[in-house]
C-alpha cells in the first residue's frame, strides 16, 4: 500500500517539490524548546536565493491532546511525541503552497508538541512547548527590513497561527508586516451526533484552554469578557472575527475532520448524517462570510475534505466558484493589506465560496475515487426523496481490512525463511529482513510525521491533512 502510494505520487503530473533542510534549535533542551517527550525541537527551512523578503512560516497540524486520557493515548499509542529527525531525515520535500512560494523564504515547523502551538508547560510527564517554539523561532529568524511574515498552518497548525497572529508584532523588528494563512481551522460548536462517542471539538477546546492557558489578545478577550467564555478565543467559529491582522482563510464547507469527529464515521453517509453535514456546512459558510465581511480573503469549496495548502496538487487544482485556491492566494498576496475598517459590509473580491447546497457538490472538488462518487450520488438521490426513516450505513471497517495485510507479511516471511532453510541462508535472510524491517519502521515513523500522503483519498478521503495517520495500520510491522 505504501509502495502503491509512492507510485501514485510518482505517476501523477505533479508540481515540483521544494526541499527544506532541518535545523535543531540551539540549546533546545536548556531552553525548553522540546517535543512532548523532552527531545529537542527544530524546524525545516530554505532561505530565498533571490533575496526575497517574504517569509512563509508553516506550523504543522497534528492531533493535539487536551486532558490526561488523550495525552496518554497520544504518547503511548500514537507514538508521535518525538520527531527529532536530525540523523534520519535531514531534508523534507514540500509541495503546494511551498511550490508557489519557492522564490521566498520557507520554514516548516514539525508539530511535536501536541498542543496546537498553544502551550508552555509540562503536565503528567509530557511537555507542551508549542507557544515557546513559535515565539523563539520568530525572534531568531533573520528577517530583513520591511519583511512580510506569513504565519501559516493547517488544521491544528491553523488554530495555533490564528491565536498567535495578533501577538507577533511586538516580537518582530518594527516595520515588518504580518499576515495569516489559515487552512481548515473553521470548526463549529456543535454537539456530537452521538454524545457517547468521544469529545466534541468545542469541549476539547475548553479543556485545552485550561491545560495550556495561552495569552489571549485584548480584542478577543473583550469580546468574551466572561471568564467562562475565554476558551472561545481558541475556537475559530468565535475567534476569527476578532483577529486584527489580515489573513487568508480556507475551509471546505464539508470539513471532513469535524464530520469524522462528530459522526464517528466516514462517507457514504445516511440521511441523518447528511442532514448533520448540511447544518455544519451552513455554519462554516457563516464563519467564512463573517471573515469576508471583515475584509479577509476566503476560499471555501463545497467539498468533503480537510487541508489543502500542503497538498502536492490540490492547492493548485481545487476551486470554488471557478477560482483555484492558488489563484486566490496569489491575488491576495499581491494586494495591499486588507483594511477591515474601510468596508466592513462589502464582500471583497478576494472571496471564492461555492453556492451549491448538497454534500460535496462543488465543481472543483478533489477527485474522489469512483466508488465514493457513485455512493455519494446514490445518497444525494436519497436525500432528495422525501425523508425516509433513519438508516445507518455500515461502517467501512471491511474496506480498511486489506490495508492491514502488509502488517504481518514480513514477519511471516521471516518465519518461513527460518523454517524452510538452514545455516547461512537463514542468517542472510534474517539480517536483510531485519534491515528491511528497520528501514520500513523508520520510513513509517517518518511518514507518520511528515509525508503528505493525500493522493490516496477517495473512499478514505483524508480527514487529516498529512493524513499519514490513516496509513499507520499498514506500516506498523
Ligand X SMILES: *[C@@H]1O[C@H](CO)[C@@H](O)[C@H](O)[C@H]1NC(C)=O
Contact residues toward ligand X (CB under 6 A) are 12-13, 32, 120, 131-132, 135, 145-146, 226, 228, 282, 285, 289, 302, 313, 316-317, 337, 339, 341-342, 355, 357, 367
In angstroms, the Cα distances linking 1 to 10, 26, 49, 327, 453 are: 14, 38, 37, 33, 11
**Between residues 272 and 358, which has the closer beta carbon with respect to ligand X?**
358
Contact between 201 and 187 (Cβ < 8 Å): yes
**Between residues 20 and 293, which has the closer beta carbon with respect to ligand X?**
293
**Between residues 337 and 425, which has the closer beta carbon with respect to ligand X?**
337
**Between residues 133 and 449, which has the closer beta carbon with respect to ligand X?**
133
Query: Dihedral of the CA atoms 272, 277, 283, 287 (nearest 10)?
Result: 170
Using CA atoms, how far apart are residues 232 and 345, in angstroms rounded to an integer? Answer: 24
**Between residues 182 and 318, which has the closer beta carbon with respect to ligand X?**
318
Contact between 369 and 399 (Cβ < 8 Å): no
Coil, strand or helix at 351? strand
Q: Min. distance of Cβ 200 from ligand X in angstroms?
A: 17
Q: Where are the beta strands (DSSP E) in 136-224?
A: 148-154, 177-183
Q: Min. distance of Cβ 317 from ligand X in angstroms?
A: 4
**Between residues 32 and 258, which has the closer beta carbon with respect to ligand X?**
32
What is the H or E stretch that residue 78 is in?
none
Determine phi and psi for 352, rounding to 5 degrees: -130, 105
Q: Min. distance of Cβ 189 from ligand X in angstroms?
A: 14
Residue 246 — left, alpha, or beta (φ > 0 → left; ψ -120 to 50 → alpha)?
Answer: beta
C-alpha cell read off for 209: 484552554
Q: Min. distance of Cβ 102 from ligand X in angstroms?
A: 17
Q: Min. distance of Cβ 417 from ligand X in angstroms?
A: 41
C-alpha cell read off for 423: 545455516
In angstroms, the Cα distances linking 63 to 70, 299, 353, 404, 464 are: 10, 24, 27, 22, 9
Spatial CB neighbours of 266, under 8 Å, sequence gap ≥ 6: 256, 259, 260, 396, 459, 460, 461, 463
Q: Min. distance of Cβ 268 from ligand X in angstroms?
A: 21
**Between residues 89 and 224, which has the closer beta carbon with respect to ligand X?**
224
Q: Min. distance of Cβ 120 from ligand X in angstroms?
A: 4
**Between residues 184 and 472, which has the closer beta carbon with respect to ligand X?**
184
Using CA atoms, how far apart are residues 14 and 59, in angstroms rounded to an integer? Answer: 23
Amino acid at each position: 500500500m505504501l509502495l502503491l502510494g509512492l507510485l501514485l505520487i510518482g505517476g501523477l503530473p505533479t508540481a515540483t517539490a521544494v526541499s527544506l533542510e532541518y535545523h535543531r534549535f540551539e540549546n533546545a533542551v536548556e531552553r525548553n524548546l522540546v517535543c512532548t517527550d523532552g527531545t529537542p525541537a527544530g524546524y525545516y527551512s530554505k532561505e530565498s536565493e533571490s533575496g526575497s523578503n517574504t517569509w512563509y512560516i508553516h506550523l504543522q497540524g497534528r492531533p493535539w491532546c487536551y486532558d490526561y486520557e488523550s495525552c496518554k493515548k497520544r504518547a503511548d499509542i500514537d507514538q508521535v511525541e518525538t520527531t527529532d529527525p536530525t540523523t534520519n531525515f535531514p531534508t523534507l520535500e514540500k509541495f503546494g503552497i511551498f511550490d508557489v512560494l519557492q522564490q521566498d523564504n520557507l520554514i516548516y515547523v514539525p508539530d511535536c508538541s501536541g498542543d496546537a502551538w498553544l502551550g508552555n508547560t509540562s503536565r503528567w510527564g509530557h511537555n507542551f512547548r508549542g507557544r515557546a517554539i513559535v515565539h523563539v523561532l520568530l525572534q531568531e529568524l533573520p528577517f530583513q527590513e520591511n519583511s512580510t511574515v506569513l504565519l501559516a498552518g493547517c488544521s491544528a497548525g491553523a488554530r495555533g497561527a490564528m491565536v498567535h497572529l495578533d501577538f507577533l508584532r511586538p516580537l518582530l523588528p518594527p516595520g515588518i508586516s504580518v499576515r495569516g494563512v489559515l487552512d481548515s481551522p473553521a470548526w463549529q460548536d456543535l454537539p456530537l451526533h452521538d454524545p457517547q462517542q468521544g469529545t466534541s471539538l468545542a469541549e476539547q477546546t475548553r479543556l485545552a484552554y485550561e491545560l495550556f492557558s495561552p495569552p489571549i489578545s485584548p480584542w478577543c478577550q473583550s469580546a468574551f469578557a466572561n471568564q467562562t467564555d475565554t476558551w472561545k478565543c481558541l475556537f475559530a467559529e468565535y475567534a476569527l472575527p476578532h483577529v486584527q491582522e489580515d489573513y487568508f482563510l480556507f475551509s471546505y464547507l464539508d470539513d471532513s475532520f469535524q464530520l469524522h469527529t462528530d459522526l464517528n464515521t466516514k462517507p457514504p453517509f445516511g440521511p441523518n448524517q447528511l442532514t448533520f453535514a448540511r447544518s455544519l456546512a451552513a455554519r462554516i459558510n457563516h464563519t467564512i462570510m463573517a471573515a469576508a465581511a471583515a475584509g479577509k480573503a476566503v476560499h471555501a469549496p463545497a467539498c468533503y475534505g480537510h487541508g489543502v495548502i500542503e497538498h502536492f496538487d490540490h492547492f493548485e487544482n481545487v476551486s470554488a466558484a471557478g477560482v483555484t485556491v492558488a489563484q486566490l492566494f496569489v491575488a491576495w498576496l499581491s494586494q495591499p493589506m486588507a483594511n477591515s475598517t474601510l468596508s466592513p459590509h462589502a464582500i471583497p473580491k478576494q472571496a471564492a465560496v461555492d453556492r451549491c447546497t448538497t454534500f460535496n457538490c462543488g465543481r472543483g472538488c478533489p477527485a474522489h475515487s469512483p466508488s465514493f462518487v457513485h455512493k455519494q450520488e446514490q445518497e444525494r438521490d436519497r436525500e432528495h426523496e422525501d425523508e425516509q426513516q433513519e438508516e445507518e450505513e455500515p461502517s467501512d471497517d471491511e474496506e480498511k481490512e486489506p490495508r492491514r495485510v502488509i502488517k504481518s507479511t514480513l514477519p511471516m516471511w521471516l518465519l518461513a525463511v527460518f523454517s524452510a532453510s538452514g545455516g547461512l541462508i537463514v542468517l542472510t535472510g534474517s539480517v536483510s529482513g531485519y534491515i528491511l524491517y528497520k528501514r520500513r519502521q523508520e520510513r513509517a515513523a517518518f511518514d507518520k510525521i511528515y509525508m503528505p500522503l493525500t493522493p490516496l483519498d477517495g473512499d478514505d478521503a483524508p480527514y487529516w491533512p498529512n493524513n499519514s495517520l490513516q496509513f499507520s495500520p499498514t506500516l506498523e510491522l
